[in-house]
Amino acid sequence: MLQMMQNKVTAEGKKEQVLFDKFMCYCNTGVGDLKASIQSADTKIPQVESALKSGAAEKAQLEQDTKASQETRRECKEAIATATSLRTKEAATYAKVSGDYNANIAAMGKALTAIEGGASGFLQTSGASVLRKLSIEMELSNADRDQIVSFLSSGSGSGYAPQSGQITGILKAMKDTMEADLADATGAENASIANFDSLVAAKEKEIDAATKAVEDKLTRIGNLGVELATMKEDLDDTAKAMLEDKQFLGDLEKSCSTKQVEWDARCKIRTEELLALADTIKMLNDDDALELFKKTLPGSSLLQIQVSNKQVRGMALAALRAPGHVDYRLDLISLALKGKKVSMAKVITMIDNMVVLLGKEQGDDDDKKEMCEMQLDKAEDDLKILETTISDLEKEIDDTKESIATLTDEVAALKNGIEELDKMVAEATVNRKEENEDYQSLMASDSAAKELIGMAKNRMQKFYNPSMYKAPPKRELTEEERITLNMGGTLAPTAAPGGIAGTGVTVLISVHGAPPPPPETFGAYSKKSEESNGVMAMMDAMVADLDKEMQEADIEEKDAQAEYEEMMKDSAEKRVTDSKSITEKEGTKADDEANLQKAGKERLAKMKEAMATVSVIQSLHKDCDWLLKNFDVRKEARAGEVEALKKAKAVLSGADFS
């Protein structure tokens, strides 16, 4: 019985050794694959990050260069506008100067012709008036100026016939001077025109170059945007995969390490058990022990205390379950008239003075009324003009604000469109990547399946149809192995093929995550000769189905890739177009905002001016309304007073109105 226990422990040890070896092989292969995947991702991530930084920097530089080119284009347009304005002013100045010179030269020629022909009456012509003017304006010597002035001041030219030669000479010199000045002015004008044309041509070339640069850079920015989005997706996928691999590697290493410790402890216990059993057997099988047992236990034998299977299971379970009037001045005259000592002459004088005063007051009222009416009319007209201007400005401001709001919405819509486009591109890239991975996985799986089926069929052919069996290619020996054989040595045993069922066939796709669990052991193979032909025919059908599936998958992959590339191209073109439209709309918006600010300032100035005008009108109303309203009453009352004073004077002078 002890020997049976010993044999059983030894057999269990061998069986567990096989399982442990498979598990450790699984650990070594999984750890190696995971480390290789992590190392590959660790190398790839800095490269992608560097490419992202480089791409982002290039994109930022392109955007900065685009703004610089747009600024250059704007400056060139402003330079052309400034030069055009200056050229217009210079042309107007030249037209006036050349017109004056031509008129003066023509008048001078007529004067020379008239003087040389001895024509009388020249001094009464317009030519003589031109000479008078020129004799004052042109730079001449005092003697020459006196000669011309004397000539022009005389009643006729005949009195100066002897001096006509001198005057003719002076006039010719003046004419020559003016012609020279005209020629200089014409030359300067032509040079200015040439310079202007040259400047405009140069600036237009700069504008064309800047426009082309902006378009090219916008295209490159769009393409870079797509590339950066793709790289970000790739970086994110790689980083996630590496993190998962590291986590799984840690778990796997921990599990393998734990399993090694457990195995070492198990081996130690088994060794101790075997040693105990061996020692026990040795002791019990000793000749002297046997002899002793015969003497002491003659009719008995050693009994084995057995433990039932139910008890063993119970102990194992327990172990496992162990976490809104009368003039007062007449009163003085009335008082004087009531007095007895005042002479009538004095009273008459007072009356005369009073009439004069009333007349003066009426004149003042007339003047003030005229002034008030005129100023009120003018102020009210000014106010109407200002109100109209303010209304126009407010309408312009409202229109500009609406335009700005519309442009803002359009720019926002375009930017949102670009963001959505980028998002769509990113999603399409992810989908394309997943589709490609599915395609690669399918092709790899189908290829592996075909190869495996082929090998399986070939293996059956070996047994059932040896003539159709294809032997594996002979092993090519290395130079070192040939030397070893030639020297009589032996080669190291060839490693058993890995892959599926030891055939060496593997599915060649990159898989992140845990390696598959170790395979279970297989039972005995049962040969069925009578079904071999049907099985091989089924294998051929399976291969045909796999070929058809691979062909369809290949066509679908090519179509999907072509559609993806066309979408990327259309997306890049749309992004460039939208980016260019955003730049143009933002420029228009900036101009509208400048015009809005200018209109706002002008409206504020006009409103202040209108308020000042209203204030003036209010002041005029305060000063003029009472006079305008009571003017006729005051005039009539004053006329009545004057009439009364005149009658009083007449009475005092002896008139009788009875």
DSSP characters for 63-93? Answer: HHHHHHHHHHHHHHHHHHHHHHHHHHHHHHH
Q: Is residue 626 part of a domain?
A: yes
pLDDT band at 619 (very low <50, low <70, confident <90, very high): confident
* Alpha carbon of residue 335 to chain centroid: 96
- The first and second tokens of residue 325, run together, are 């009037």
Question: For residue 498, is it within any domain?
Answer: no
Please tell me what DSSP assigns to residue 493: P
- Residue 619 carries which side chain, given as an amino acid letter? S
Helix 126-137 × helix 142-153 angle, to 10°: 160
Domain of 413, in residue numbers: 336-471+532-658
- Mean pLDDT in residue range 638-646: 74
238 and 354 co-located in one domain: no
In a domain, 98, yes or no: yes
Residue 288, SS3 per DSSP: helix
- pLDDT given at position 522: 34
Residue 55: C-alpha distances to residues 50, 180, 231, 391, 654 (Å): 8, 66, 10, 53, 120
Residue 311 has pLDDT above 60, yes or no: no
- Res. 141: pLDDT tops 70: no
Percent of the chain with pLDDT over 70: 69
Domain annotation covers residue 201: yes
Cα(583)–Cα(67) distance, integer angstroms: 9
Q: Once rounded to an integer, what is the mean pLDDT over residues 235-243?
A: 87
CA–CA distance, 182 with 500 (Å, rounded to integer): 105
Amino acid identity for residue 384 in this structure: K
For the purposes of burial, counting CB atoms within 10 Å of the CB of 97, is it exposed (0-12), middle (13-18) or buried (19 or more)? middle
Question: Within a domain: residue 303?
Answer: no
Of 220, 253, 287, which closes a domain? 287
Query: Do residues 42 and 172 both lie within one domain?
Result: yes
Three-state secondary structure along 301-329?
CCCCCCCCHHHHHHHHHHHHCCCCCCCCC
Fill in the amino acid letter for 656. D
Domain boundary among 254, 287, 320: 287
**What φ, ψ does residue 343 adopt, rounded to 5°?**
-75, 155
In the predicted model, what is the mean pLDDT of residues 79-108? 87
Q: Say which DSSP state 502 is in.
A: G
Encoding tokens for residue 367? Answer: 């003047």
Tallying the residues shown for the chain, one arrives at 658
pLDDT tens string 529-558: 444 566 567 767 777 887 888 888 889 888
| Cα gap 567→572, rounded to integer Å | 8
> How confident is the model over 255-266, as a mean pLDDT?
85
Confidence of residue 325 (pLDDT cuts 50, 70, 90): very low
For residues 454 and 552, membership in a common domain is answered with yes
Three-class secondary structure of residue 108 per DSSP: helix
Q: Is the pLDDT of residue 631 over 80?
A: yes
pLDDT at 262 over 50: yes
Same domain, 262 and 120: yes
DSSP secondary structure string for all residues of 367-409: HHHHHHHHHHHHHHHHHHHHHHHHHHHHHHHHHHHHHHHHHHH
Mean pLDDT throughout 51-67? 88
Cβ(505)–Cβ(459) below 8 Å: no
Flag the least confident range among 181-185, 392-396, 526-530: 526-530
Specify whether the CB–CB gap between 160 and 150 falls below 8 A. yes
What letter does residue 527 receive in the DSSP assignment? Answer: -
Q: Residue 489 domain-assigned?
A: no
Contact criterion met (CB below 8 Å) for 101 and 185? yes
- 178: in domain: yes
Residues 269 and 376 occupy one common structural domain: no
Give dist(CA 591, CA 597) in Å, integer.
10
78 pLDDT above the threshold of 60: yes
Q: Residues 263, 372: one domain?
A: no
Q: Which residue has the tokens 């006329």?
A: 639
The confidence band for 146, taking pLDDT boundaries of 50, 70 and 90, is: low
What local confidence, expressed as pLDDT, does residue 435 receive? 86
Q: What is the pLDDT of residue 305?
A: 42
Cα–Cα nearest to 194, from 93, 183, 79, 186: 186
Contacts of residues 140-143 at CB distance under 8 Å and 24 or more positions apart, as own/partner, are 140/170, 140/174
Is residue 298 a part of any domain in this protein? no
Over 50: is that where the pLDDT of 96 sits?
Answer: yes
Q: Could you say which DSSP state residue 160 is in?
A: G
Q: What's the pLDDT band for 245 if we cut at 50, 70, 90?
A: confident
What sign for the dihedral angle of Cα 476, 480, 485, 491?
negative
Please check whether residues 545 and 632 belong to one and the same domain: yes
What percent of the chain shows pLDDT beyond 90?
A: 4
Same domain, 379 and 236: no
Q: What is the mean pLDDT of the chain?
A: 75
Mean pLDDT of 176-184: 87
Is the Cβ–Cβ distance between 362 and 638 less than 8 Å? Answer: yes
Same domain, 347 and 463: yes
454 pLDDT more than 80: no
User: Averaging pLDDT over each range in 399-408, 462-471, 615-624, which range is the top one?
Assistant: 399-408
Please give the distance of CA 61 from its chain centroid, rounded to a whole number.
13
> CA-CA distance, 501 to 546, in Å (whole number)?
20
Is the pLDDT confidence value at 367 over 80? yes
Helices (H) and strands (E) in the chain, counts: 10, 0
Please provide residue 154's backbone torsions phi and psi, each rounded to the nearest 5 degrees: -75, 160
Judgement on whether residues 113 and 176 belong to the same structural domain of the protein: yes
Pick the closest to residue 204 from 86, 65, 79, 82 (CA basis).
Answer: 79
Q: Please give the full DSSP string across 553-575, using - where no structure is assigned.
A: HHHHHHHHHHHHHHHHHHHHHHH
Residue 566 belongs to domain with CATH number: 1.10.287
User: What pTM was estimated for this model as a whole?
Assistant: 0.36
**For residue 163, what pLDDT band results from cuts at 50, 70 and 90?**
low
Residue 536 and residue 469 in contact, taking contact as beta carbons nearer than 8 Å:
no
For 221, 233, 239, 564, the CA distances from 426, given in Å and listed in that order, are 16, 7, 17, 11
Backbone angles phi, psi at 628, to 5 degrees: -65, -40
At 190 the pLDDT is: 92
According to the model, what pLDDT value does residue 254 have? Answer: 83
Type of residue found at 333: I
Q: Which of 287, 302, 325 is the last residue of a domain?
A: 287
Dihedral sign from CA coordinates of 616, 618, 623, 625: positive
First vs last C-alpha separation in the chain: 184
Query: Does 60 score more than 60 pLDDT?
Result: yes
**pLDDT higher at 435 or 338:** 435
Least confident of 93-107, 408-422, 532-546: 532-546
The contacts of residue 525 (CB under 8 Å, 6+ apart) are none
Within its chain, how far is the Cα of 542 from the centroid?
56
Residue 559 burial by Cβ neighbours in a 10 Å radius (0-12, 13-18, 19+): exposed
Task: Decide if 228 contacts 62 (C-beta within 8 A).
Answer: no
> Within this chain, do residues 247 and 366 fall inside the same structural domain, yes or no?
no
Residue 523: pLDDT band by 50, 70, 90 thresholds?
Answer: very low
The amino acid present at 503, given as its one-letter code, is T
317 in Cβ contact with 35 (< 8 Å): no
Please state the domain count of the chain: 2
Residue 270, pLDDT > 70, answer: yes
- Same domain assignment for residues 265 and 349: no
Kindly report the backbone phi and psi dihedral angles of residue 234, in degrees, each rounded to the nearest multiple of 5, phi listed first: -65, -45
Q: pLDDT per residue over 566-575, tens digit each?
A: 888 888 888 8
